[in-house]
Amino acid sequence: MSDSTYDLYRQSCINLARSIILKSSEVASAINAELNLLGVEVDETDPSTWKYYLNLSGQYHPFDEPMTVTSLDTLEVIAFTRESLEIHRSTAKAYTFNSDAYLSLLARYPDQETLIRGIVNPVDIDTAIAASDWDILFYNNDLVEINEADLISRIQNWIHRHMLRWHINDYTLSDDLYLASAIGVMFSHLPNAIINIRLDNAKTYKAHSYHVWTYLAGHGGLSGYRESLNTAQALFLYRNIRYIYKNSGKTSTFRLLIENLLTKRGLPLYAYDLRHRTDSLPDSIRPEIDVIRYPLNDSLVSADAIQIYTPDELTELVRNFAPDNGLNAEELTDEWVLKMQRSGRDRVLTKVVESVVEINDSFEAVDINQLLLEHWVYLSNINVYSGNVTLVNPHSGNILQISAADAFILYMYLFNRTLGVTLDKIPTFTTFLTVEPVMQDWDTFTEGLNPKYVEPYRDLFLSLPTTSNIINAEGFFEHVHDVYTVLASILTASNMASKIEEKAELRILFNRLTKSKTITLSNIETYDQWLFVNDIDVEEISITDAQAFMDIIVETSTGSDASTDTTAQAIQNALVSILNQLTSYDINVVSTLLGQNSFNVDTSRFKISELDISGSHNDGDYDSTLRVKDASLHADMGSIDIEPGVLRLNDTSQSYAQFSINQLDTATLHTRAKTLGSIRIANVEVAVKEITHD
């Protein structure tokens, strides 16, 4: 890796050392002695009243000067206290240790650093009092990786040994600055101690990511997949990469890679074989050729999930795998089919494997990103989300402080710029899944619905957030996440319902919760005027800067990370690329994405109503009627309306009846005697009912 990467790693070690807060009863005693000299009374018998411990826990001592800051959430002047930062969370985020805002506040109050750090990162006062000298009370755990299991304990041991070896308490009696010097010397050596501890953990499961990815960068340039591999996969490659390269091409190595790269991430992989089909013999002297697809990771896919394809379909699968693959495809297919027909073996393995990822972006799923976007514009325009956001324009370098509502207007402009479109007028925005942030009466809300189906969801409904004032992105994200939990639970229950009445009632409940609203974003009509009024320079912004600015706005306004691509397709592409790189060169790993931009009609869950059977008994004949009720499924592109259909069943003989549902496949009903058999739609069995009569 580059020198800049090492500089970042070294700086992270320094930042970790700086973030550590240690217990020192000697410092507490020195502060008490100073207060006594200033005439401040100190209760020596109650450490919980001492300035040292109060400041560590983020509490003011009577001797401390009250501090104020400007809230980044509301732009008001607020007291700098633990309680105020719990409300103004964007402000708390800005005042993290060693940030620009933190250093600016420290410059204003240079004698109160312990209090400032205690307010930003409070320590439990009872824990601090009970701790031994030089125990670690706090550290920034964001700078310690999840697999570094023993890092803090080893740092703690180093600190104890250093102070035991070099710190002599008696010198504090003759030299007032000895204690400060001893602590300063110890902290000056602490970054090197952290670097050495991490170096000692290299080539183990406790290795820091810098050592892992530096090593992988030198073995095939695998550091480029850092965003796609999880910690376990990175450590697997870190431990085994030399073995994998040495044994590349072996079946055992291929299986090892499948298990650790694909199976553990839930990505199925299928192999293709060529096989003889002899049912045409002896009428034909040559067997037919079937292409058999079967799973390689049985733990994800049933081992009997085998599918049969034609040779032409196999050719089509690899057509775009390499340039010119499609040239003379038909002739080459006929050639290898003929060779297979003449083969003395009835099964030949191919070098084609397929990674299949199935996604669902249909109307049946609730997308939290859609909820974040729609509630951002909705709640900010009704002044429920009233917070302000601080942005850095990557185009001009200027710092902007604008409302969440204005941030969305800017987001819309930049989004269109990334598509090569420059908006002239500020558009309206239509939402589809917004939930009003007010408590509604359950009985009124569910009026007309069957309590049998909706009553179990009363508590879930009552758990909807009713926040009237959101002032920061963290609070906004929590609000939307709570809404997402309720909506996803109700929609999932509707999709899984066993009866059509239950499905319909829950879908109505879902539709009543979610509102469609058309929102006017601004009273100003044109973007030129709006950008001028807000003093924002983005007219000449490049597409790259526009995308970067968009990501900053989304993250700052919604609390979500828009820059990392963790979609199923991105992960699949990365893992398949690694598999291609680390396996035999003549194996073709093909990526397939199922369900993208698809319209899901939920064919696997067509419901049958409770049967309303009426009939008469006449000479052994029994006539009964199965009524298919009206139903409607709504999606963005329209609705599917199922016309009422009537099936008349005859009891005395085997009979068949058919009815059509708009343009869907014909549903065939088979009945024998008094048993109504299975209804199948698109070859999926959905119900089995028994007809009985007196």
Would you list the domain boundaries of the chain? 3-200, 209-263, 272-358, 368-558, 603-690
pLDDT at 300: 73
For residue 429, list its beta bridge partners: 519
Region of 659 please: left (phi>0), alpha (psi -120 to 50) or beta.
Answer: beta
Residues 448-491: tens digit of each pLDDT = 999 999 999 999 998 998 877 898 888 899 999 999 999 989 98
Of 32-36, 196-200, 221-225, 236-240, the range with the lowest mean pLDDT is: 221-225
Q: Copy the structure tokens of residue 41.
A: 């009374």
When pLDDT is cut at 50, 70 and 90, the band that residue 616 belongs to is very low
Of 91-100, 289-298, 676-685, the range with the lowest mean pLDDT is: 676-685
pLDDT at 676: 34
Of 70-79, 140-149, 659-668, the range with the lowest mean pLDDT is: 659-668
Residue with more model confidence, 395 or 230? 230
pLDDT at 303: 56
Residues 277-307: tens digit of each pLDDT = 888 777 888 888 999 998 888 777 665 578 8
When pLDDT is cut at 50, 70 and 90, the band that residue 669 belongs to is very low
Find the helix packing angle between 100-108 and 113-120, rounded to 10°.
140
pLDDT at 238: 96
Average pLDDT over every residue of 582-596: 71
pLDDT at 181: 95
Average pLDDT over every residue of 489-505: 85
Residues 443-453: tens digit of each pLDDT = 999 999 999 99
CA distance 226 to 231: 9
Residue with more model confidence, 676 or 545? 545
CA distance 472 to 87: 9
pLDDT at 291: 92
pLDDT at 639: 30
When pLDDT is cut at 50, 70 and 90, the band that residue 346 belongs to is confident
DSSP per residue over 441-488, as a string? -HHHHTTTS-HHHHGGGHHHHHTS---S-B-SHHHHHHHHHHHHHHHH
Other CB atoms within 10 Å distance of the CB of residue 444: 7
Other CB atoms within 10 Å distance of the CB of residue 567: 13
Rg (CA), the chain: 34
Nearest Cα neighbor of 229 from 246, 213, 215 is: 213
When pLDDT is cut at 50, 70 and 90, the band that residue 518 belongs to is very high
State which H helix or E strand residue 512 sits in: helix 500-513
Find the helix packing angle between 473-496 and 543-558, rounded to 10°.
80
Residue with more model confidence, 522 or 327? 522
Q: Using an 8 Å Cβ cutoff, are 348 and 341 in contact?
A: no
pLDDT at 367: 82
Q: Copy the structure tokens of residue 629.
A: 């009720």
Torsion of CA 272, 274, 276, 279, to 10 degrees: 40
- 122 has a pLDDT exceeding 90: yes
CA distance 555 to 620: 73
When pLDDT is cut at 50, 70 and 90, the band that residue 412 belongs to is very high
Q: Using an 8 Å Cβ cutoff, are 92 and 407 in contact?
A: no
When pLDDT is cut at 50, 70 and 90, the band that residue 593 belongs to is low
Mean of pLDDT over the chain: 81
pLDDT at 351: 86
Share of the chain above pLDDT 90, in %: 48
pLDDT at 4: 82
When pLDDT is cut at 50, 70 and 90, the band that residue 608 belongs to is low
Residues 312-344: tens digit of each pLDDT = 888 888 887 777 777 788 888 888 899 998 888
Of 148-162, 279-293, 316-330, 637-651, the range with the lowest mean pLDDT is: 637-651
Of 221-230, 295-304, 350-359, 530-539, the range with the lowest mean pLDDT is: 295-304
Other CB atoms within 10 Å distance of the CB of residue 501: 16
Of 395-399, 562-566, 649-653, the range with the lowest mean pLDDT is: 649-653
CA distances from 50 to 27, 28, 117, 126, 176 (A): 11, 8, 16, 12, 20
Residue 655: phi and psi, rounded to 5, are -140, 160
Choose the most confident range, by mean pLDDT, from 158-167, 264-273, 356-365, 590-599: 158-167
Nearest Cα neighbor of 296 from 256, 249, 255, 266 is: 255
Average pLDDT over every residue of 649-665: 30
Q: Copy the structure tokens of residue 515.
A: 């509102």
Average pLDDT over every residue of 371-399: 89
- 178 has a pLDDT exceeding 90: yes
For the chain, the first-to-last Cα distance in angstroms comes to 82
When pLDDT is cut at 50, 70 and 90, the band that residue 373 belongs to is very high
pLDDT at 344: 86
Average pLDDT over every residue of 571-595: 79
Q: Using an 8 Å Cβ cutoff, are 53 and 129 in contact?
A: yes
Query: Which pairs count as long-range contacts for 222-229, CB under 8 Å and 24+ apart, including other chains?
Result: 222/578, 222/581, 223/1, 225/574, 225/577, 225/578, 227/564, 227/565, 227/566, 227/574, 228/570, 228/571, 228/574, 228/575, 229/574, 229/575, 229/578
Nearest Cα neighbor of 411 from 276, 530, 254 is: 530
Tell me which residue has tokens 């309206």.
428
- 41 has a pLDDT exceeding 70: yes
